[in-house]
Chains A and B, each alone.
Chain A
Amino acid sequence: MQQIAKIKQDKSIRPRLIWACLSVALLVSAIYVTVSYRLTADITVRSELKAMGHITSLVSNELSQVKDTDEVDSTLNEILLSAVNNPAFITVTTPAQQWHKNLLISSAKRSTLLQLVAEAEDNAEPIEVDGNTFLWQQHKIGQHKIGQYQITFVQQTQALDITLEFVAKRLLVTSIIVFWIAVWLALTLASLIARRAEQVNESLAYIATHDSLTGLPNRLYLIELLENSLGPTTDATNTPVDEGCLLIIDLDRFKEVNDSFGYAAGDTLLKEIARRVSVLIRAPAELIRTGGDEFFIWAPDYTIEQAKTLSLEIVNSCNYPTLINGLTVNSGASIGISHYPSQANDTAGLIVCADTAMHKAKAMRSGWQVYDNKKIADYKDILQLRAELSDALAQQQIILYYQPKVDLATGEVTGAEALCRWQHPRLGLLGPGEFIDLIEHSGKVQEFGRYIIASAAAQAVQWYSDGLLVPIAINLSPYNLLDPGLADFIGETLNRYQIPPQFIEIELTENETCINIDYIQSALAQIRELGVSLAIDDFGTGMSSLAYLSELRVNVLKIDRAFICDLTTNQGHRAIIAAAVTLSQSFGCDMVAEGVETQEQARLLYEMGCRAAQGFLFARPMPAKAFRGLLSQQKPQFTDAF
């Protein structure tokens, strides 16, 4: 998760560059000094050799004048004393005789030097003896008056001392200046390159952590930000907060805008929304776009109340129409809020909670919603339950409970509504409220629908074969009806179990029935053709419209418990029920009242013309075995209910 930090922390480039440049500068200076030293030394040696060449020639000339071999010694002495200042010697060798003349040099040293000269290839390299350096010249003369002879002139040299003197005086100063210039060059280059590298790193980090369309930070940045804000202090970049709120903003009608006006318009809308929301939030709160039409706000030190206020402002701002292509578009937004640390104390948890709340807000059209952690204590449970769903279906942990539908006139049980329960191995019996949402968002909704139908059919055939003629109503959500093979599956199931179709009833929960009404309608038509009766569940709430009612041609209307619970006191609800009764009569369908709890309610419903009801007044949902016991009782089962 430290990817951005990785990019930013690459600071080693600067010192490394400086070291590299300094090393190069040092190397260049060393090479410069060495070459200069050698050059100077070479030149000095050559000029000295040249001077010695002159002396050797002089000796040669003088010797050519000599008439007698006895004069050789004095001539050599004369030349040596007049022309040479350093320790030196001259040796003249003829086949018959050898003359030596020393100046400030011992005879032993002379023999050593002569030996070395005889072994040397040429005279370019000085000879080292006892820490002193010597140069030599040799001259061979052909036949002469004193015979054939060879002159060897060896002289101690000061060439290297002279060179060192030069180096000390000028070269050293010059090379210091050169080194100085090189150091500055190194520093400048290193800094320039390092600065450039830092700029590149920064822009890379920016690109990696920001959205190109709105210029807002992206998901990577969000994760980094949350990790730094929530985690314990591990290093200087961490700034833990005591509390904070995470808001997820999702535009309600973004897809429609994209589909109707094109992506360019969608982009314009996103930019406009990003701009408006940015204006509303104040640092240190940050707006982040994670993709599509989803924005996050991480608001450190915000209480839930402050987050609610902010959400309200954002919702209002998003509801304000945007002008796109000359048309005003109202995108609307749903916001989910989660609070740290009361609802989740890590990044993943916080996001899941806010996401859950956002979906709830969307479903409820409530604008914003705070995560309700009472629903299921911990988001981890949600994740775990989601993972356990497959097992639940495979191991038949989802079981059906049955609640009787009672004829209000006779008190007889006329049907059963199958309600699912999850016999969870760890958490015990879970009601549908705790897992239906998970199923609907898990991609297993169609498999689940088939599972329920098969279970209910198995139960129905058991009762049917025992002579208990009770139809079983199954709740299906519109998501199940999107299953293209559903009608065929129901037909096959009925065939397999050999049950008459009227013993199965499909109750359509309609809280989200707006999805693909045409498709659902054709699916329902196929099911109806099988002879299975259809019911609308929770009629009167949610998305039900009267047109929908007429098009679906259902057999049963189940009026929602919301109208029943305060039936005795609420005049309005009583009027709605009366109208629903009339409506059902006009459509020729039956009506069932849900959630009847008191005798008073049952009596009133009966008086209004409702013939069937279910609720706690009669019985709570019960396992199949208990229900069978109820059916086996003498009819009518509920004589004293009203």
Chain B
Amino acid sequence: MAFSSNLNTLDRSIRGVIGICVTAFALFNGDMIGDVFIEVLLGIFGILNLISLFSGWCPVYHLAGIDTRKH
């Protein structure tokens, strides 16, 4: 139960798109930002979204007891 999926397809795909964009931006356009710290932050957020994309599980939803997946 602890790591069971709690995202529906739409939620998951939006997160996927955001995750890919943000990670790519952090990785390849880091110079535009001009600050390593922000770059790292963006990277972390991007990766968190990618985790949600692959596992279908969101830790915040889990903590808050939200479940957007139709059982």
**Which residue from B41, B63, B64 sits with its C-beta under 8 Å from A177?**
B41
- Cα A173 to Cα B29 with chains together (Å): 13
- For window 180-204 of A, CB contacts with B under 8 Å fall at 180, 184, 187-188, 190-192, 195
Kindly supply a per-residue 1/0 record for chain A positions 163-179, scoring 1 wherever the CB is within 8 Å of any chain B CB and 0 otherwise: 00000011001100100
- Do B38 and A170 have beta carbons less than 8 Å apart? yes
Using known A-B contacts A173-B38, A173-B42, A195-B65, determine if residue A187 contacts B60 with beta carbons closer than 8 Å.
Answer: yes
Query: When chains A and B are docked, how far (Å) is the Cα of A506 from the Cα of B32?
Result: 113
Q: B64: shortest Cβ distance to chain A, in Å? A: 3
| Binary CB contact string for chain A from 320 to 348 against chain B (1 if under 8 A, 0 otherwise) | 00000000000000000000000000000
Are B66 and A191 in contact, with the CB atoms below 8 A?
yes
Contact across chains for A177 and B45 when beta carbons are under 8 A apart: yes
Q: A169 contacts which chain B residues (CB < 8 A)?
A: 32-35
What is the chain B residue whose CB lies nearest that of A178?
B41
**Chain A residue contacts of B42, Cβ below 8 A:** 173, 177
Partner of B60, one of A174, A177, A184: A184
Partner of B34, one of A170, A187, A192: A170
Complex formed: what's the CA distance from A240 to B27 in Å?
62
Would you call A174 and B63 a contact (CB within 8 A)?
Answer: no
Q: Are B41 and A192 in contact (CB under 8 A)?
A: no
List chain A residues, Cβ under 8 A from B32. 169
CB atoms of A191 and B65 under 8 A apart: yes
Chain A residues bordering chain B, tally (CB within 8 A): 13
Cα A385 to Cα B27 with chains together (Å): 89
**With A187-B66, A191-B66 known to touch, is A170 a contact of B45 (CB < 8 Å)?**
no
- In the complex, what distance in Å separates the CA atom of A187 from the CA atom of B45? 17
Contact with A along B11-38 (1 / 0, CB 8 A): 0000000000000000000001111001
Q: What 1/0 flags go to B34-71 for Cβ under 8 Å of A?
A: 11001001100100000000000000110111100000
The docked-state distance in angstroms from the alpha carbon of A169 to that of B35 is: 9
B44: nearest chain-A partner, CB-CB: A177
Nearest B residue to A185, CB-CB: B60
Q: How far is the CB of A229 from chain B (nearest CB, A)?
A: 29
Give Cα distance in the complex from A190 to B60, angstroms: 12
CA distance A138 to B35 in the complex (A): 37
- Docked-complex contact B33 and A192, CB < 8 angstroms: no
Q: Is the interface of A mostly helix, strand, loop or mixed?
A: helix
CB <8 Å contact, A170 and B33: yes
In the assembled complex, the CB of B30 is this many whole angstroms from the nearest CB of chain A, namely: 11
Nearest-neighbor residue (CB-CB) of B35 within chain A: A170
How far apart sit A190 and B41, CA to CA, in the bound complex (Å)? 25
A202 to chain B, nearest CB (A): 14
Chain A residues with CB below 8 A from B41, complex form: 173-174, 177
Cβ–Cβ contact B33 & A173, under 8 A: yes
A189 to chain B, nearest CB (A): 8
Chain A nearest CB: distance from B36 CB in Å?
11
Task: Give Cα A265–Cα B42 distance, bound, in whole angstroms.
Answer: 69
Q: Within the assembled complex, what's the spacing in Å between the Cα atoms of A174 and B32? A: 13
Given B38, B45, B65, which contacts A192 in the complex, CB threshold below 8 Å?
Answer: B65
Shortest beta-carbon distance, A6 to chain B, in Å? 24
CA distance A184 to B61 in the complex (A): 9
Q: How far is the CB of A170 from chain B (nearest CB, A)?
A: 5
Which residues does chain A contribute within 8 Å of B63, judged by CB atoms?
188, 192
What is the chain B residue whose CB lies nearest that of A184? B60
For the complex, give the distance between the alpha carbons of A180 and B15 in Å.
13
Report A12 CB to chain B, min CB distance, Å.
17
> With contacts A169-B33, A170-B34 known, is A188 near B64, CB below 8 A?
yes
CA distance A335 to B56 in the complex (A): 57
The distance in angstroms between the C-alpha atoms of A188 and B58, with both chains bound, is 12
What B residues does A191 contact at CB under 8 A? 64-66
Q: Tell me, in angstroms, the Cα distance from A180 to B63 when the chains sit together.
A: 16
Residues of B close to A195: CB separation below 8 A: 65
- Min CB distance A383 to B, Å, is 50
Q: Which residue of B lies closest to A183 (CB)?
A: B60
A347 smallest CB distance to B (angstroms): 36
Q: How far is the CA of A327 from the CA of B53 in the complex (A)?
A: 68
B32 CB, nearest partner CB in chain A, Å: 7
A173 to B63, CA, bound (A): 26
In the complex, the chain A residue whose C-beta lies closest to that of B25 is A173
Contact between A174 and B65 (Cβ–Cβ < 8 Å)?
A: no
Return B63 CB to nearest CB of chain A, in Å. Answer: 6
A192 to B64, CA, bound (A): 6
**Chain B contacts for A192, CB-based, 8 A:** 63-65
Q: What residues of B have a CB within 8 angstroms of the CB of A187 in the complex?
A: 60-61, 64, 66
Query: In the complex, A495→B34 CA distance in Å?
Result: 119
Residue-by-residue, is A121-155 near B (CB-CB < 8 Å gives 1, otherwise 0)?
00000000000000000000000000000000000
Point out which of B34, B60, B64, B65 has the most chain A C-beta atoms below 10 A from its C-beta.
B64
Residues 450-462 of A, flagged 1 when their CB comes within 8 A of B and 0 if not, give 0000000000000
A170 contact set on B, CB distance < 8 A: 33-35, 38
What is the bound-complex CA distance between A188 and B65, given in angstroms? 8
Q: Which residues of A contact B33 (CB under 8 A)?
A: 169-170, 173
Is the Cβ of A180 less than 8 Å from the Cβ of B38? no
| Docked CA distance A177–B40 (Å) | 11
Min C-beta distance of B19 to chain A, whole Å:
12
Q: How far is the CB of A176 from chain B (nearest CB, A)?
A: 9
A191 to B64, CA, bound (A): 5
Contacts of B38 in A (CB 8 A): 170, 173-174, 177
Closest B residue to A168 by beta carbon equals B32
Q: Which residues of A contact B61 (CB under 8 A)?
A: 187
Chain A residues, Cβ within 8 Å of B66: 187, 191
| A192 and B61 alpha carbons, distance in the complex (Å) | 10
CB-CB nearest 9 A-B residue pairs: A191-B64, A188-B64, A184-B60, A170-B35, A173-B38, A177-B41, A169-B34, A195-B65, A191-B66
Given contacts A170-B38, A173-B33, 7 further A-B contacts (CB under 8 A): A177-B41, A177-B45, A188-B60, A190-B64, A192-B63, A192-B64, A195-B65
Where the two chains meet, the residues of A that have a C-beta atom closer than 8 Å to any C-beta of B are: 169-170, 173-174, 177, 180, 184, 187-188, 190-192, 195
Report 23 cross-chain contacts, Cβ distance below 8 Å, ordered by A residue: A169-B32, A169-B34, A169-B35, A170-B33, A173-B38, A173-B41, A173-B42, A174-B38, A174-B41, A177-B41, A177-B42, A184-B60, A187-B60, A187-B61, A187-B64, A187-B66, A188-B63, A190-B64, A191-B64, A192-B63, A192-B64, A192-B65, A195-B65
